[in-house]
Chain A
Amino acid sequence: DIQMTQSPSSLSASVGDRVTITCQASQDISNYLNWYQQKPGKAPKLLIYAVSSLQSGVPSRFSGSGSGTDFTLTISSLQRADVGTYFCQQSNSLPPTFGQGTRVEIK
């Protein structure tokens, strides 16, 4: 199985801050990388697919980049509505695997 490693595991930032979350794959996954947001007590929701394609309805302050084994999710200006846990997921091969999650809080 492909291992996905996210960092940091948690972060606390102020409203308006630029936030960056990284995701590293244990082998080359090209651009088969998706990002999800899970708000407390809710199901995960797709944010970004294929590294950088924003899902319809997702605010433009979210963006993704990377290729191969190293990927980044950026929130350009953190808002209170962004509190939650973020997961990366590889869709390069079965079984699909997820990072352990990054918990984002407001300072």
Chain B
Amino acid sequence: EVQLVQSGAVMRKPGESLTISCKASGYTFTDYWISWLRQMPGKGLEWMGRIDPSDSYTNYSPSFQGHVTITVDRSISTVYLQWRSLKASDTAIYYCAKRSEAGAHNWFDPWGQGTLVTVSS
């Protein structure tokens, strides 16, 4: 079974750093991009960026470029999302999702269970 398991909910103060993780299993990890997506409380879904686990190449949404970093550890099939300095507005649920594809088409499937990040003083 293809599965993405994310790290648990966390609470931090503004200005603190944070790294959350997404561990993949059930498929060849280096064959498919993994994306991170944000869902702010009661809101829709925003794509933040993605990483190619085979070579660590990344793409970021302009809205998130420079504020987060996506990295990978191929030895443990895990992708990370990192902040150096959190803001209260980073409070949200963060999902990782695997790129799936057929021909020219691609979609997100499956998704991790989500990680709630709360930033509050």
Q: Which residues of A contact B (CB under 8 A)?
A: 31-32, 34, 36, 42-46, 49-50, 53, 55, 87, 89, 91, 94-101
Contact = CB atoms under 8 A, between A and B. Distances in A.
Contacts of B107: 34, 46, 49-50, 89, 91
Interface stretch (B12-20, B43-51, B72-80): B43-51
Contact of A50 (B44, B105, B109, B111): B105
Given A32-B105, A43-B95, A87 B111 contact: no
A31 B103 CA distance: 12
Q: Is the interface of A mostly helix, strand, loop or mixed?
A: loop
B44 A99 contact: yes
A32 B47 CA distance: 16
A46 B47 contact: no
Contacts of B71: none
Nearest to A94: B59
Contact of B44 (A43, A49, A91, A101): A101
Interface string B20-56: 0000000000000001000000001111000000000
B117 to A, nearest CB: 15
B106 to A, nearest CB: 5
A44 B95 contact: yes
Contacts of A89: 45, 107-108
Contacts of A53: 102
| A-B CB proximity, top 5 nearest | A46-B109, A43-B111, A34-B107, A98-B45, A49-B107
Nearest to A44: B111
Contacts of B110: 45-46
A64 to B, nearest CB: 12
Given A49-B107, A91-B105, 14 more contacts: A31-B105, A32-B105, A34-B108, A36-B108, A42-B113, A43-B111, A44-B111, A50-B102, A55-B109, A87-B45, A94-B59, A98-B44, A99-B44, A100-B44
